[in-house]
Structure 1
Amino acid sequence: MTEEHLTTDQLGDRVWAILAATAEGRDADVDELLVALPWPDLITVVCGLGALATGAVAGHAGIDHTTARGRVADAARGLLADRIAQRERPDQ
């Protein structure tokens, strides 16, 4: 980690760089893009990635942009609950 904080524009660039590296399966590059960030900047980048994901999921599901955040959050919580329930079920 470093103590040098990035500008808002630089953090936005980092979000897009992580998206590109992830899409290409370059995990080592993602690590390099995250490892040196101070905690507040890391949180900003993670929130930026979450915002991109929310928009992508909303668009894929045909959810109106004005209600996207709440509906995507509800859907994500439902999927998370399903995943947990599946892990907690005894093998059949």
Structure 2
Amino acid sequence: MTEEQLSPEELTDRCWAVLAAAAENRPDDVEELLVTLPWPDLVTVVCGIGSFTVGAMAGRAGLDEATARADVADVVRRELLERLAEREGPNR
């Protein structure tokens, strides 16, 4: 981790680089792109990647952006609740 924060343009580039490495299933490269970031920049990159992903998912819905993003959030929350229920199961 470094103390030097990146410029907004460098953070955007880092988001794209992480997406490219993830698309090519290169977790070691993703780690290298993230491990050197100071905490505020790491949060910015993670939020940027999340926002891009939600926007891409929302764009497929054919709805206005706010409605589509709300729908994506609902789908993601349902998925999280289902995963939690599976882990907890009836025997826990």
How high is the TM-score relative to the length of structure 2? 0.89
Unmatched 5+ residue regions in structure 1? none
Deviations 1:40-60 (A, max 9, x none): 000000000110110122123
Tell me whether 1:56 sits opposite 2:73 in the alignment: no
For residues 30 and 88 of structure 1, what CA distance do their matches in structure 2 show? 31
* Paired residues of 2:61 and 2:68 also in contact (CA < 8 A): no
RMSD: 1.5
Aligned length: 91
Distance 1:25 1:60 in 2: 23
Distance 1:87 1:61, change over 3 A: farther
Deviation at 1:71, TM superposition (A): 1.7
Q: Which runs of 5+ in 2 are unaligned?
A: none
- Quote the Cα distance in structure 2 between the aligned partners of 1:61 and 1:69: 9
Structure-1 separation of matches of 2:27 and 2:2? 21
Residue matched to 2:26: 26
d(CA) in 1 for partners of 2:54 and 2:63?
A: 10
Amino acid corresponding to residue 36 of structure 1 in structure 2: T
Identity of aligned residues (%): 59
Q: What TM-score does the superposition give when structure 1 sets the normalisation length?
A: 0.89
